[in-house]
């Protein structure tokens, strides 16, 4: 390659990129990155490796010296890294599974901003990135940046239209069925659902599950028993206060999240009701404090750790070409119920406070 100082016009030539090498070789940018960075633990054929190295030399691509034995990297793009325990569950799950598979993880928060995502993807091209896990804190449909498909990619806690990319999400609707069945099995028929914000897909899915469970047991659906509580303690408090004004109030409540369940506890206590006796309550999320509530809260748990591990295992299999998905799929993981002491059989009306 002609050095800039040797050029008669003094113009610095444009540096070749991994993308140009990938196009010239007919391989992915991820493959080029792994070859040029000499990432161990990958199954790239000698023929492909030689072709990439030869083309890089022809184009004058220079690779900075890297420490021998550097492990390949899985990039985790996530829109939010707040203090929510959900974030920790997703990141820890990915990191632990990746480490077990011999990969490093780089976590890149983007705040869900399109420009930030594009910048992040440009940054990934400079790393020995083997694959990408594209993640959302809250389950939702997404539109991924087109360049993301330069690497093997799995979507975690999100999905795309028509499931054109493999994704792993929680089974929120099935969880709604499970929670409502638990209350029905305890003998309740007046069961309220305190939902989340309208924009939250999980709230709609859990409501669908609630309705399905009622229909399965031939229990009439009463829309008046479905109220919004959002994400907050005050939302749960206000929701139960409203429900208790009904002539025939609910004997059980299924809450969208544990925070609204705390509000339900507060409103019940204020009304002279004892949770786990006069009123049964099921929450969602299994927040750390729920085991210390009085009584301890029965709640549904998001399977984030299992979802993350499966996403990594599928991604590693795609990277190593051990697994070829017959078609992109959306895999839904069951949400386990954490049974505690907030659910009991309903008292006869004459025995309630």
Each residue of 307-346: pLDDT tens digit?
999 999 999 888 877 455 556 689 999 999 999 999 999 9
**In this predicted structure, what is the pLDDT of residue 173?**
98
Q: In the chain, which segments carry CATH 1.10.260.40?
A: 4-59
At the topology level of CATH, where does 172-301+338-351 sit?
A: Rossmann fold (3.40.50)
Whether pTM > 0.75 for this model: the answer is yes
| Cβ atoms of 209 and 177 closer than 8 Å | yes
**What digits encode the pLDDT tens for the residues 123-132?**
888 778 899 9
- Residue 351: pLDDT over 60: no
Q: How confident is the model at residue 214 (pLDDT cuts 50, 70, 90)?
A: very high
**In this predicted structure, what is the pLDDT of residue 248?**
96
The CA distance from 61 to 98, in Å, is 30
**What digits encode the pLDDT tens for the residues 235-290?**
999 999 999 999 999 999 999 999 999 999 999 999 999 999 999 999 999 999 99
Give domain 73-165+304-334's CATH number out of 3.40.190.10, 3.40.50.2300, 3.90.230.10, 3.50.50.60.
3.40.50.2300
Q: What tokens does 256 get?
A: 């969208």
- Percent of the chain at pLDDT exceeding 70: 84
The CA distance from 104 to 130, in Å, is 10
May I ask the CATH architecture of the domain 4-59? Orthogonal Bundle (1.10)
Q: Cite the DSSP H helix spans in the chain.
A: 18-25, 29-36, 46-59, 85-100, 114-124, 172-185, 201-216, 233-243, 258-270, 304-319
- Residue 291: pLDDT over 90: yes
Q: In the chain, which segments carry CATH 3.40.50.2300?
A: 73-165+304-334, 172-301+338-351
> What are the φ and ψ backbone dihedral angles of 72, each rounded to 5 degrees?
-65, 160
Query: According to the per-residue pLDDT averaged within each range, which of 89-98, 116-125, 150-159, 212-221 is highest?
Result: 212-221
């Amino acid at each position: 390659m002609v050095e800039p100082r040797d050029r008669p016009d003094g113009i610095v030539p444009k540096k070749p990129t991994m993308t140009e090498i990938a196009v010239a070789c007919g391989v992915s940018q991820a493959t080029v990155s792994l070859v040029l960075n000499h990432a161990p633990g990958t199954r790239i054929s000698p023929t492909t490796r030689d072709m990439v190295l030869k083309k890089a030399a022809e184009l004058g691509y220079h690779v900075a010296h890297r420490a021998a034995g550097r492990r390949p990297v899985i990039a985790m793009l996530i829109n939010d890294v707040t203090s929510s325990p959900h974030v920790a569950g997703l990141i820890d799950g990915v990191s632990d599974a990746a480490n077990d598979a011999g990969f490093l993880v780089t976590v890149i928060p983007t705040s869900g901003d399109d420009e930030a995502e594009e910048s992040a993807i440009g940054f990934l091209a400079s790393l020995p990135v083997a694959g990408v896990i594209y993640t959302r804190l809250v389950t939702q449909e997404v539109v991924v940046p087109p360049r993301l498909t330069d690497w093997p990619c799995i979507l975690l806690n999100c999905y795309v239209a028509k499931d054109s990319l493999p994704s792993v999400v929680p089974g929120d609707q099935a969880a709604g069925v499970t929670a409502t069945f638990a209350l029905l099995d305890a003998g309740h028929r007046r069961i309220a659902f305190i939902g989340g914000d309208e924009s939250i897909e999980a709230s709609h899915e859990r409501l669908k599950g609630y309705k399905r469970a009622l229909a399965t047991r031939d229990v009439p659906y009463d829309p008046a028993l479905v109220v919004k509580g959002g994400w907050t303690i005050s939302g749960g408090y206000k929701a139960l206060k409203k429900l208790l004004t009904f002539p025939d109030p609910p004997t059980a409540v299924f809450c969208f999240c544990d925070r609204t369940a705390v509000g339900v506890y507060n409103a019940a206590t204020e009304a002279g009701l004892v949770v786990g006796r006069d009123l049964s309550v099921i929450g969602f999320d299994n927040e750390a404090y729920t085991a210390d509530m009085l009584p301890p809260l029965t709640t549904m748990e998001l399977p984030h750790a299992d979802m993350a591990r499966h996403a990594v295992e599928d991604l590693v299999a795609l990277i190593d070409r051990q697994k070829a998905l017959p078609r992109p799929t959306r895999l839904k993981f069951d949400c386990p119920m954490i049974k505690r002491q907030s659910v009991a059989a309903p008292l006869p009306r004459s025995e309630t406070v």
